[in-house]
Structure 1
Amino acid sequence: MAAAAAAATTTASSSTQGSLREDLTCAICCDLFREPVMLACMHHFCKACISRYWRGVQGPVTCPQCRRVFSTKHFQTNYLVVAMVEKVRASSSDTYIKDLEKQLKDTLESHRLKKEEYINLIRKDKEKMDAIKRVGAELQARVQGEFRALQQFLQDEEACVLEQLRKEQEEVLEQLQRHLEASKEAVKELEQNMKVLQQASIATDNGVLVELPQLSRPCVRVDTPPELDINAFNSKYIAPLQYITWRKMFKSLKPGLAPLTFDVDTAHPSISVSRDKTVAVEYDSMTSYKPHPKRFLQCVNILAAQGFQSGRHYWEIAVGSKPKWDLGVALEGVDRHTRIKLSPESGYWTLRLRNGNEYSAGTQPWTRLQLGSCPQRIGVFLDCEERRVSFYNADDMSLLYSFASGPRGKVFPFFSPCISDTSQRPQPIQLIHYPTAVLSG
């Protein structure tokens, strides 16, 4: 319907231009006015034409069109008609027509490119929607699988988590749907404008096009598509859901925290380990450990005695108010005798703290994290099948950072209490075996 209206508008414009040329044609010479003059009866003629028509006439004269009689040979110049004649004459020139055709061609090309851009945006939006639906379906299956391991009284908790997932997925899909509809509408408007321009292009063949046609919306814009972080969406739900739920009703959860202990054979000589192997402290004095090929010699590091290469595992470390530390996982074959940067390229996936409040993920370069509070306990989640290493504030189970491309092969929990400030009393890090409190809510 809109297209028909646009076509009708173009046709009407063409008809108007043709009628205008007729109105500006002298009835005597049948050509466009030259020095048009107007008689008292409002009819116009070329000055030369009407002068020749009245030549030799003595006394009253008449209008060649309406035959109205005038007592004298009187006429006046109509400057508005003069200007209109010049404009029509100019619009009929070859140069003007070629310039107009070029403008039409350029405008059509601009619209075509913009249409292609929006079509690509639509395609990308659909791909994003398919991706979020696919990931959402996978997450739903995972969440349901987790909750099937719980007892009947935990079904309400399962429904709560699924509802949260559904709302977040729905919110993202709604944003993408709005952008998709806006892009489709933009393409539709561009197509309408293109039809108008194409009709105008045809009109140039008749030599009657005076100016570009009026477009309904000449500057169509679509906002930047919403950003979609699949990894962030994914990481939130590929998590130790049973443990998070257990913090609310932990007696029904199996299994719980991984019962880690420190491997004394890996401890740097400046690290002292408690008798139960759950507390590690860095001191200025060296401990006389027996030489061992697994021991870290250059960096103040230590590993857990338990390693993992399959399954899903979670553990917590109490860091208290220590101003600096490094935590995470390390490949079994990392170099323990030289100084290296803690990064996935070197076989480490870590979270670090410096100066008491500067948190960073162990990428190269470091990824600075903005945390609302300083966690007293850090949770580490390792999913060997998904190759994911995630870090949590164990006080409220909020996600701090997640590595999407985690390790392959056997890894060990990694810890570094770092070198302490000599002016401060050394503070320990401690492996947590059981929670000290249950989350409320």
Structure 2
Amino acid sequence: MADSPDEDMSEEREPLQKDLTCPVCQGIFRDPVLLPCTHSFCRECQVSSMKYNKRCPLCRKDFEEGQVVANRALSDACETYLKTKHTRPKLESGGEDCCNLHLKPLELYCEKDEEPVCVDCVSLHSTHRLLSLRDGAPVCKRELSFKVQIFEKKVESYKKTTHKLNNAVEYIKYQAGQAENQIKSEFERLHAALVTEEALRLKALATEEEEKIAAIQELIANTNEDIVTLKELIDTLKKEMGNEDLPLLKNFQNLKRKAQWTREDPCLPDDSLLSMGKHVGALSYKIWKNMQAHVKYNPVVLNPNSASPWLSLNADLTSVKESAERLTAPDNPERFDPCVFVLGVEGYTAGKHRWDVIVGDNPRWIVGVCRESVTRKKKFTLSTSRGVWSIGLSKGAYTASTPERTELQVQQRPEKIRVKLNMDRGEVSFWDGGTAKHLVTLTHKFDEKMYPIFGPGLHNTPMILAPGKIAVHTS
């Protein structure tokens, strides 16, 4: 019986492959060069050999570097051979895939290059760790299992985040209810002249509520999509991990590329809650032109989105005191927790500003200004070096928040503290609001937006933002 064409081709390939094999690396010649002694080697092998001596690795004859020439004929023959290698038959031993370079079964796994190799490839991976297919598969499975574990934990984390985001939606609705009640109350007091204004402000509130909820619901939807995608990725990896060793190892690099997650983890973004100050802060002042006799103006109103969960604010955001129990509020980035502080709604980058704070007989409090970037999510010592310029009362002593804790000499206990901030001169001064006596001035070149900061202490006595005087000028 005549030999098949594949068998003839295989017999022809074996001696041809030997003729095209570099005696140093045992692979098909790559950019071969010819030495004066007529022996040929891969250029890279020849260069490596010259690091030790300038002799032919086979016959040991000396040569000079300038005598080495490119062997173009041999290079062309190697290229032609490699182009036709796809026509090679499968080996009879189980029909396994073969090495593209040496036409031998893939029996080893290179841990560094993350690919299966044949026994003749060993010299090309001499500095790499080679494992059997049986030992290599668990290595890949362990890495993929680690990916699966990460994604499973991420799914659980995303589920918890989704729960928090849903809670944030409910809190926004609660905020909207609070704002609506306050707005209605104010408009009832002034309703004859303010019916139109009331409708406009309720519309603005409803619009922002819808926008904020829509934004978070979109984030929830995206998070749920991420959960589905992660689960699909987990299922894919688990399915591939159940394949035979060799298919798994051959597809490992592709699986590893797919097993990446570059999207950012979902979280409640900045400015995600309602801008309560815009709707209910100093509301009567905003309509003073029509109702001057009923206008109440506060230079500063409190930002409930920054308030510690242990603080309770009144409806018009001008009073703050300790809450009997921890309030339920989203852990948004603006909120102080665990420190018991609250900021004013408006920050300042220029100009002169003044506000009065009624501290009453509260035995512990702080009043001042702080940088917008002040720490929110961990405890810190009040100090100018931490971005807080303030004075306070604690254990019967009045101090300024300098690094060395400057003690203030106060003869008469002030019930009202006046804060004057001059951004242009870099000064914040504190006064006894009742006697107009100067207490202390702190200086700094403010290079960041500054916010009023208040710490009423954990006492039932409220800290109240005193209303300012209104002057109407006409021309």
> Which bin holds the TM-score, normalised by the shorter protein?
0.3 to 0.5
TM-score normalized with structure 1 length: 0.46
